[in-house]
């Protein structure tokens, strides 16, 4: 679970666009058997060098992390396929 996803969820909760019913996201990651993926300098460098298909910084970080770590990106946003990373659509 990318730190970028937790960050984006926290922002959406704060501005009232998402309700996680008081869940502790950090605890939820562990309790559900996910592994936390920190944002590294190599992730940031790759995100900054990606083509401008999407300007959303969270999407760009997730794409970069998927590329650098050779991961499958889980998303409902099919527009991210333009980056060529493997996507598991939800």
pLDDT band at 90 (very low <50, low <70, confident <90, very high): confident
Per the CB < 8 A criterion, the answer to whether 77 and 90 are in contact is: no
Terminal C-alpha separation, the chain: 15
- List the beta strands (DSSP E) in 1-90: 73-75, 87-89
Averaged pLDDT, 38-48: 98
Place of tokens 């300098």: 41
Contact 49, 28 (CB under 8 A): no
Average pLDDT over residues 30-42: 97
Report pTM. 0.90
pLDDT for residue 35 = 95
Per the CB < 8 A criterion, the answer to whether 24 and 14 are in contact is no
User: pLDDT tens, 44-89?
Assistant: 999 999 999 989 999 999 999 999 999 999 999 989 999 999 999 8
pLDDT > 90? residue 31: yes
H or E segment and range at residue 47 = helix 41-49
């Amino acid at each position: 679970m990318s730190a970028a996803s937790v960050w984006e969820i926290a922002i959406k909760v704060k501005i009232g666009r998402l309700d996680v019913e008081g869940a502790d996201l950090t605890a939820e990651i562990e309790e559900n058997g996910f592994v936390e993926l920190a944002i590294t300098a190599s992730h940031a460098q790759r995100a900054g060098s990606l083509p401008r298909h999407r300007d959303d910084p969270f999407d760009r970080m997730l794409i970069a992390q998927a590329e650098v770590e050779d991961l499958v990106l889980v998303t409902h946003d099919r527009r991210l396929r333009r980056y060529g990373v493997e996507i598991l659509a939800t």
